[in-house]
Amino acid sequence: MNKKLDQLLETNEKYFQLLLAKMEDLSQRLSAVESKVQQGDGGGGGANGLNFHKIENKVDYLNGNVVVNSTCSIFDYLKSHDSVLDKSNIQNILCNNVTIYETISCILSELDMCYLYVFPFQKGIIYIWNHDKTTWEKSNQKTLKTIFETLQLKVVQTYNKLYTSGDLKCDNVEVAEYIFVDNFDKKYNDFRKSLFAKLTGNL
């Protein structure tokens, strides 16, 4: 009986020592992470996980740290890349599963090229790569409206192709009100918030 008890105590002691070692290792790693965050070397957002609260000029930071290897503007990119939109996007809009605003903000957040950037806790501010000026800048309503209208035109064109080929499955006869909207100015804030949220989720 005593022998079994001694073995049990010995086994428990080994596991306890192993647990202590792992806790010590975890504590050291946590301290290192906290130290980096306090020094601005980690956590909190930005391309390299930098603590963006310490970045006074966000545009300068982006220009120095976020490289955009593009040969054209975001507008030309959206016009020339058919892959940004597919049949499921159109089908979901037509069947009123999602709005065109939700679809477009989702497409923009999943682009292969980094044209848009957000800092997670800088609420609502979306930065856009200006290809002509080769610099990042804060987006505004006019810019986002142009981007939206560029993609909306692509939605209409894709719909026409799919409709002509008989490749759509939706009984909705009032498709125009779903694939073409003319109320961006009223919906701007909602669209911007939706896009910001989706971009934040892709950082």
Domain-located, residue 46: no
Domain-located, residue 135: yes
- Looking at the chain, the whole-number percentage of residues with pLDDT higher than 70 is 73
**Beta-strand pair 135-138/116-117:** unpaired
Confidence of residue 161 (pLDDT cuts 50, 70, 90): confident
- Owning domain of residue 132: 57-201
Tell me which residue of 175, 188, 186, 182 sits closest to 105, measured CA to CA: 188
Domain-located, residue 109: yes
Q: Kindly give, in sequence order, each residue whose CB lies less than 8 Å from that of residue 122, ignoring residues fewer than 6 positions away.
A: 52, 58
**Beta-strand pair 135-138/127-130:** antiparallel
CA gap 118, 109 in Å, rounded: 11
CA gap 178, 167 in Å, rounded: 18
Domain-located, residue 166: yes
Domain-located, residue 174: yes
**Distance set, CA 117 to CA 114, 122, 168 (Å):** 7, 11, 34
Domains held by the chain: number: 1
Q: List, for residues 20-61, the tens digit of each pLDDT value.
A: 676 676 666 555 544 543 443 332 234 444 455 567 888 999
Domain-located, residue 43: no
Question: Within 52-140, where are the H helices?
Answer: 58-65, 74-80, 87-94, 100-109
CA gap 113, 108 in Å, rounded: 10
Domain-located, residue 49: no
Q: Name the CA radius of gyration of the chain, rounded.
A: 25
Asked if residue 81 has pLDDT above 80, the reply is yes
| Average pLDDT of the chain to the nearest whole number | 80
Identity of residue 175: V
CA gap 162, 87 in Å, rounded: 8
Q: List, for residues 116-135, the tens digit of each pLDDT value.
A: 999 887 888 999 999 999 99
Pair 84, 92: CB distance under 8 Å: no
Identity of residue 132: D
Confidence of residue 75 (pLDDT cuts 50, 70, 90): very high
**How many Cα neighbours within 13 Å face the side chain of 84?**
27
Domain-located, residue 89: yes
